[in-house]
Structure 1
Amino acid sequence: MENGPASQQDVRRQNLALVLGTVRAHSPLSRADVAARVGLTRPAVSSLVDELIERGALTEAPATASGRVGRPGRALALNDHGPAGLGLEIGATHLGACVVDLRGEPRLWRRVEQVNADRPAGQVLAEAAALSAEVETEATALGLYVKGRILAVPGVVPNAPGGLVERVPNLGWHGVRLADHWPDPDTLPEPENEANLGALAEYWNAGQPAETVVHVSAETGIGAALIIDGRLFRGARGFAGELGHIPVQPDGPGCACGARGCLEQFAGKAAVLRQAGLAQHDLAQAGDPVALLAERAGAGHAPTLRALDHAGRALGLALASAVELIDPDSLVLGGAYTELADWLLPSVRAELAARVTVRPWTPQALRPSALGRRGPLLGAAQTTVRRIMADPTLLPAD
């Protein structure tokens, strides 16, 4: 008997999610339309809709004639002035913030260019918190209220509560706990690896039909994320996906992680810029090093083309191992790699063709991301919305 009430609550929670998801996918709908689609009785759907309106997830427009026999229907839709998700991002050279509504649509988007590498974690987090507060104030002015906050970081986030960021080599962070540095505990975000968030955003937004995907992205470092059977695979402790630190040349140059010959030393942004012969003066004037690489490659600049070919071959070597181990449906190049895909893809595909020999593989299974460098921040913001859609009781009832 003790399980009865909990079971009833679970059923109602599932039905709330079913109704909310149906309205999101097919709005505008009337209550009768929803009942017909979900297979529940009209009184049951009406009760669920009332609760979703009370929780601020749905709105109902005044009655309008539909041309059908019976009373005019009232159109249900997601609330554009209600719950929202806030995504934050800390990169080696920028801070970012994004607010999305219940549709997952960005309503605010901010990016601040600044150097964060090798600065005290507390100082960087204080600046991220200030940006977060500023954007949240702007969201309130739009009629949105932030229900959850996710922080994308380019490093290892363990499968453990408490907001611990274990290691971020390209920022120089080790064992940083967000709560020790975030000024307002009421707005403390939940950290997550940026590559994981980029992969989830791609899966959620880009019409990705594949259920098993390796998503590899580059900013200052190289990260990868695994979507296996439609779910993010984090590993036993949350450390999965550190593709940038797979050795591709055991006696190669030293890496910031402490090992030698890591993929980042051959296919990371800094390595490609160095091999392309781009001086600091060129980079200072360019503002965006990735855009400069793409511009020079497009102009046929021989050192840049050689650098990208070299990076593509190293990346293909690492990805071949991932393909043989995981057997994915597809490989996706995200982050800065998206903008350089025209020059990276041929050499990556050549390396895969030469090394993936024990399973079927086609060149078309490797493609650039549809989201590029926007992926991690969008994924961070949409994580909260996905949670609400799965469990609308996370929203307070008035």
Structure 2
Amino acid sequence: MTAPLHDERRGTSGARLPDTQQGMRRRNLSRVMHAMAAHGPLSRAAVASRVGLTRAAVSTLVDELIRSGLLDELGPERPGRVGRPGSALAVSARGPVGIGAEVGVDHLAACAVDLRGEVRARAVRRAGNRGRPPLPVLQELAVLVQLVCDESRQAGLAPAGLAVAVPGLVARDTRTVVRAPNLGWQDVDLDRLVPTELPLTVDNEANFGALAELWLGAETPEDFLHVSAEIGIGAALVVDGRLLRGTHGFAGELGHVPVRPEGPACPCGGRGCLEQYAGEEAVLLAAGLNLGEDRGARLAERAAAGDERVRRALREAGAALGIALTGAVNLLDPRAVVLGGALSRLAPWLLPTLEEELSGRTAGRACGVTVSGLGPDGPLLGAAHSVARSVLDDPVGVGAGLGGGTGRRA
């Protein structure tokens, strides 16, 4: 069974634990772990206050989590205070880590995130993956994953699972990439091709980017439309802290919304899709620049330097993006639109025409447009955090610290 994504800010996964005494205990362990990860270091009394349990109940849960290696006891809290100081607790710097990996059109990446949310290992490789067979691409990705796992283990950390972000459609509750037009992939089963014994989750990169924004964004609301882009443009809708996936798991293909129906052909089979006007390659061509590495950085540098051709290309891309977003905003009424990925670096030149189109075409009140602080790292971080948070969600059922970290496939 595919490991469930943690898709709520409040700390409950999609899989409901049974209403039994054992299920209640597991839920309470999760509540303690989420409180510690979000607010620690804390004393037992402070944890009890935050989760609404008795100090005796929390003490029993904390002792179990300490024995399992998920929490550490740091010693007296605030020495010198009046009365007997409590013992400060913190999420362990050792123990489980979530492994995230990303297949991009021009790069591969992997990282490890611990239960405190800190990146503990990272590996990146530039690679032109468009048109390459899936097997060698995934073999190279597996090398990066192994490097990150090895570095984690050397630091006393146990990989708890692997989540892979891909720029394409992933069938719901599977590990199959149904279609990735910018890679040229179709019906690729990562479960069969990724050599790992870790529990494996596969999802669209925009979905992982949206989850990263939900979990890591400083002021991100629980209802927003997240838009991310490099070669392609993807989107993900978060409603009440949950991803809206659609019947087949294909929701969010904003890049293939037609903005000019008679426009150029798109790899998806359509014509005039948003990606043909606002994808990085389309903007580079319109700006008269060569394709190559660090495209977003080069566009931002030239625009900041006053290159009028680049700025004009970005204004036109912003207008196309605004037209496509208008349909989504009119249909879904999100509280905010968040620009992530490469778009975040180009926001100063995209936003004026984007907001002009959005405000002029929106039937109701136009929502605000904000820029993600995560930049291009959003999908990779979202993938790794999804695994780490699954441990917080169910320390008994998923956590490597309580389950022994054997690396069995889910």
TM-score normalized with structure 1 length: 0.92
Alignment of 1:1-16 (within 5 A): 7-16=20-29
Specify which of 317, 337, 340 is matched with residue 346 of structure 2: 340
2:366 is the counterpart of 1:361: yes
Q: What is the Cα deviation at residue 56 of structure 1?
A: 2.2
2:382 is the counterpart of 1:370: no
Specify which of 260, 269, 272 is matched with residue 249 of structure 1: 260
Deviations 1:135-157 (A, max 9, x none): 10001111111101100000011
Give yes or no for contact 1:89–1:151 (8 Å, CA) kept in 2: yes
Alignment of 1:116-131 (within 5 A): 116-131=129-144
Specify which of 319, 330, 339 is matched with residue 324 of structure 1: 330
Q: What is the Cα deviation at residue 25 of structure 1?
A: 3.0
2:235 is the counterpart of 1:231: no
Match of 1:175 in 2: 187
Q: What is the Cα deviation at residue 75 of structure 1?
A: 1.6
Residue identity in the other structure for 1:54: R
Structure 1 residues 18 and 317, CA, compared in 2 at 3 Å: closer, same or farther?
A: same
2:314 is the counterpart of 1:311: no
How many angstroms apart in 2 are the aligned matches of 1:37 and 1:311?
46
Give yes or no for contact 2:255–2:275 (8 Å, CA) kept in 1: yes
How many angstroms apart in 1 are the aligned matches of 2:112 and 2:403?
22
More helix by proportion, 1 or 2? 1
Q: What is the Cα deviation at residue 114 of structure 1?
A: 1.1
Residue identity in the other structure for 1:20: M
Match of 2:108 in 1: 95
- Secondary structure at the residue paired with 1:227? strand
Structure 1 residues 254 and 41, CA, compared in 2 at 3 Å: closer, same or farther?
A: same
Structure 1 residues 244 and 131, CA, compared in 2 at 3 Å: closer, same or farther?
A: same
Structure 1 residues 353 and 397, CA, compared in 2 at 3 Å: closer, same or farther?
A: closer
Match of 2:295 in 1: 289
2:165 is the counterpart of 1:152: yes
2:63 is the counterpart of 1:50: yes
Structure 1 residues 39 and 297, CA, compared in 2 at 3 Å: closer, same or farther?
A: closer
Structure 1 residues 302 and 39, CA, compared in 2 at 3 Å: closer, same or farther?
A: closer
Specify which of 5, 30, 33 is matched with residue 17 of structure 1: 30
Considering only aligned residues, what root-mean-square deviation do their CA atoms show, in Å?
1.8
Residue identity in the other structure for 1:383: S
Give yes or no for contact 1:251–1:261 (8 Å, CA) kept in 2: yes
Deviations 1:215-257 (A, max 9, x none): 1111110000100121111111100000000111111110001
Deviations 1:360-381 (A, max 9, x none): 125xx11211111010000000
The aligned length equals 384
How many angstroms apart in 1 are the aligned matches of 2:213 and 2:301?
26
Structure 1 residues 334 and 36, CA, compared in 2 at 3 Å: closer, same or farther?
A: closer
Give yes or no for contact 1:54–1:397 (8 Å, CA) kept in 2: no
Deviations 1:38-71 (A, max 9, x none): 3323332121112212332111124567445665
Alignment of 1:166-205 (within 5 A): 166-184=178-196, 186-187=197-198, 189-205=200-216
- Secondary structure at the residue paired with 1:17? helix
Structure 1 residues 39 and 160, CA, compared in 2 at 3 Å: closer, same or farther?
A: closer
2:64 is the counterpart of 1:59: no
Q: What is the Cα deviation at residue 107 of structure 1?
A: 1.4
Give yes or no for contact 1:202–1:208 (8 Å, CA) kept in 2: no
Q: What is the Cα deviation at residue 115 of structure 1?
A: 0.7
Match of 2:357 in 1: 351
2:230 is the counterpart of 1:219: yes
Give yes or no for contact 2:160–2:198 (8 Å, CA) kept in 1: no
How many angstroms apart in 2 are the aligned matches of 1:188 and 1:38?
29
Match of 2:269 in 1: 258
Q: What is the Cα deviation at residue 397 of structure 1?
A: 4.9
Larger Rg computed on CA atoms: 1
% identical aligned pairs: 52
Structure 1 residues 60 and 348, CA, compared in 2 at 3 Å: closer, same or farther?
A: same
Structure 1 residues 269 and 37, CA, compared in 2 at 3 Å: closer, same or farther?
A: closer
How many angstroms apart in 1 are the aligned matches of 2:192 and 2:333?
41
2:145 is the counterpart of 1:139: no
- Secondary structure at the residue paired with 1:359? coil
Q: Which moved more, 1:317-326 or 1:299-308?
A: 299-308
How many angstroms apart in 2 are the aligned matches of 1:188 and 1:18?
23
The gaps in structure 2 that reach 5 residues or longer are 1-17, 405-410
Specify which of 95, 105, 118 is matched with residue 105 of structure 1: 118
TM-score normalized with structure 2 length: 0.89
Alignment of 1:33-44 (within 5 A): 33-44=46-57
How many angstroms apart in 1 are the aligned matches of 2:258 and 2:295?
25
Give yes or no for contact 1:92–1:117 (8 Å, CA) kept in 2: yes
Give yes or no for contact 1:167–1:175 (8 Å, CA) kept in 2: yes
Residue identity in the other structure for 2:360: A
Q: Which moved more, 1:103-112 or 1:248-257?
A: 103-112
Deviations 1:273-312 (A, max 9, x none): 1111113xxx45xx31111111111122122111111111
Match of 1:207 in 2: 218
